[in-house]
Structure 1
C-alpha cells in the first residue's frame, strides 16, 4: 500500500490492493438508534421507530477480485469505516467488478 500527503495535509491511500473476504456487522443497540444512518425515505424512518426488536445489519461479502485502490477525484473520497467498507463490498459483490477508492484517513 502506498500513502501520500495531499495539499490539505490529509494522508491518502494512493495505490495498492485490498481483498475483502468477509464483513459482518453486529446488531445495533437500541440506545444508539438516533445516531444510526437511515435511508432518507419516510418508510425506513417509520420502521426504525416502530420496531421493538434491535435493528440488525449484517453484510457478508466474498470478492473473487481484489479491490484496486488508487487516487481518485475529490468527490470519490470516502471515510474508511466499517459501514462504508461493508456497503462498498456488497455493491462490488453484486456487480462482480473492480472499483476505485480514495479514502480520507483523517476522517
Structure 2
C-alpha cells in the first residue's frame, strides 16, 4: 500500500507521464532505507562473517546504533560496534579495534 501511495503522489506531483515509470523510483526509495544494512552485511559476509538477525549466544559482535542493543551487549559481554566498523575492516581486510567504533 505504501508503494502505491508513493506512486500516486509522484504521478500527481509531476502532472504527467506513465504511472509504470514511477515504480522503479518508488522501489529504489524504499530499498535505500535498507541500503546501509545490505551493504554492511554483504561486506561482512565477504570477510567470512556469519550475519544473522537472531541475537543469541553465538553472536560475537552486535552491529547497531540502537540503545536497546547497547544494554544487551553489556549484559552478555559482547562487542557492540557502529556499522562503520565493518567498512573500516573491509577496506584494509583486517580487524579494527572495536573500541574505536562505538555507537
Which TM-score band applies after superposition, normalised by the shorter structure? Answer: under 0.3
Q: Work out which structure has the larger RCO, using CA pairs closer than 8 Å and 6 or more positions apart in sequence.
A: 1
TM-score by length of 2: 0.26
Q: Which has the higher helix share?
A: 2
Structure number with bigger Rg: 2
